[in-house]
Structure 1
Amino acid sequence: MTPEYQPQMSVEEFEELERHAPETVWLEFINGRVVVKPMGDGNHREMIAWLQRTCMQHRPDLWLHAESGLKTERYRKGRARADGVLIKVGGLKGHGEWSESEGALMAVEVTSYDSDTNKRDRVEKPDGYAAAGIPVYLLIDRDDCSVVVFNQPEDGRYRHEEKLPFGAVVNLPEPVNITLDTEPLKEFAD
């Protein structure tokens, strides 16, 4: 028998806690529990910068916002600080710390070298982003030097997943419509 789901606290309590956390600590609220998100290292930040430049070159009408807070999961009860959120230019105007997921075309995560990355980036975040209706989730997985594209969210899961090695040409589907040459990611894989 599965124990009844009991969140550690309410979303409102989490947001209050997060407001008072030191600037050096990033908190997320995933599946009803508080998670400390590790700060990205230099290679992590370079991968996001590369993706920002690439998106801007292909789709100047969009911007990839780094470290953007999103309301995720069913009924927007989760709070995820995505490594990147692709949205129309100006699409965050008037939003607070935690933006609604409507308008987000793609969420991006780059794996970190911590013990929670498997559960957080490969399991919980895809489910949370799919449940929030974000059309595309891009996972840049440094552990096995791959790029995973999730799309077609339905019933809290992505119906389609494609995994390709660094160096491959990756097509980000509708509504993103960007082709990535991932060769440059090899430089930041270490």
Structure 2
Amino acid sequence: MTPRTADRPQPQMSIEEFEELERRAPEMVRLEFLNGKVQVKAVPDGETCSVTVHAEPEDGVYRAVTTRPFGAVVELPDPVGITLETEKLKDYVD
């Protein structure tokens, strides 16, 4: 069961803000992570046709890393707490 929006912690920044920050200042993204603002990160990889979820940041590294193939159901842990259907990602790779 997915928690109601009101029950979830509010994000520190939107996905769009994070992507813009990552594009303009990759080192700043690392600092944001170190400050504990990036709790969960999902990274799609078109070369391997997979999604890697990084979670549980501690001392500058993610302690939990899980990789699933495109098409799998991917669970993003709290504080995000959602399920991603990745089947459509197959449409974006050759």
TM-score normalised by the chain length of structure 2: 0.70
1:138 shift after superposition: 1.1
Query: Which runs of 5 or more structure 2 residues have no equivalent in the other structure?
Result: none
Higher relative contact order (CA 8 A, sep 6+): 2
Q: Deviations over 1:125-181 (max 9, x none)?
A: xxx264232100111111100000000000000000000000000000000011011
Distance in 2, matches of 1:154 and 1:79, equals 17
Letter in 1 for 2:54: F
Q: Distance in 2 between matches of 1:172 and 1:145?
A: 18
Q: Which amino acid aligns with 1:69?
A: L
Partners of 2:61 and 2:15 lie apart in 1 by 23
CA drift of 1:64 comes to 3.1
**Identical aligned residues as a percent:** 40
The residue matched to 1:68 in structure 2 has which SS? helix
What secondary structure, in the 3-state scheme, does the structure 1 residue paired with 2:90 have? helix
Aligned pairs for 1:54-133 (under 5 A) are: 64-65=15-16, 67-69=19-21, 78-80=27-29, 128=30, 130-133=33-36
**What is the aligned partner in structure 2 of residue 168 from structure 1?**
72
Contact 1:130 1:158 in 2 (8 A): no
Query: Which 5+ residue runs of structure 1 have no aligned equivalent?
Result: 1-57, 81-127
Deviations 1:76-124 (A, max 9, x none): xx234xxxxxxxxxxxxxxxxxxxxxxxxxxxxxxxxxxxxxxxxxxxx
The one-letter code matched in structure 2 to 1:65 is: E
Q: Which whole-Å CA distance do the structure 2 matches of 1:130 and 1:150 have between them?
A: 11
- In the alignment, is residue 188 of structure 1 matched against residue 82 of structure 2? no
Residues 17-60 of structure 1 show CA distances to partners (whole Å, capped at 9, x for unaligned) of xxxxxxxxxxxxxxxxxxxxxxxxxxxxxxxxxxxxxxxxx96x
Q: CA shift at 1:189, angstroms?
A: 1.5
Paired residues in the alignment total: 80
Q: Which has the larger radius of gyration?
A: 1
Contact 1:171/1:178 (<8 A) preserved: yes
Aligned counterparts of 2:28 and 2:39: Cα–Cα separation in 1: 18
Asked if structure 2 preserves the Cα contact closer than 8 Å seen for 1:139 and 1:148, the reply is: yes
Q: Looking at secondary structure, tell me which structure has more strand per residue.
A: 1
C-alpha distance in structure 2 between counterparts of 1:159 and 1:79, whole Å:
21
